[in-house]
Amino acid sequence: MLALSFGYLLGGRWSTHDPSTKRLSWLFFGASILLGLAAVIAAPVMQWVFDQQLDPRYGALLASFLLFLPASVVMDMVSPYCVRLSVSNAESSGKTAGVLYFVSTLGSAIGTIMTSFYFVVWLEVNQIITALAVTMLAAGILGFTRAPANAVSVEKAGVA
């Protein structure tokens, strides 16, 4: 929830500065790198946390905070940024935001169910994290290569 809060705040702020599909793609690249890094450094980070001899509850919280907070914040910047790119006029802004948050929440619910009941049975946790990082990398590449070369940013086009 902490990552959601900061991600939404930062995504909303970042979306006001020359919003474009290519800049959105950089969010996917950044999240992919941070999540991939989390998979690589997970063992030493968890060993360090374990060596601190914390209460297991606090140790798990600290380890997850260190490993996943940065990637989660960047991933959570995507929704408000997409709202900014998708709103074409003030009258439809609520509907646009509602649809985007519906899709986002539905995706989270499906992802949670699939991970909890299927992926953890079929795959190791690092494989799940790596697959997510690769998927985000692919989304970033797709957004970056599919963005119109002559796209005008929303602000420059005069749409608020």
Considering the entire predicted model, what is its pTM? 0.78
Domain boundaries, the chain: 2-146
Residue tagged 């709103």 (tokens): 87
pLDDT of the chain along its 160 residues, tens only?
888 889 889 988 998 888 888 888 999 999 999 999 998 999 999 899 888 888 888 888 999 899 999 999 999 999 889 888 888 888 888 888 888 889 888 988 998 899 889 888 898 888 888 888 999 899 999 988 887 654 444 444 444 4
**DSSP string computed for 25-85:** HHHHHHHHHHHHHHHHHHHHHHHHHHHTT--HHHHHHHHHHHHHHHHHHHHHTHHHHHHHH
Do 43 and 57 meet the contact criterion of CB atoms below 8 Å apart? no
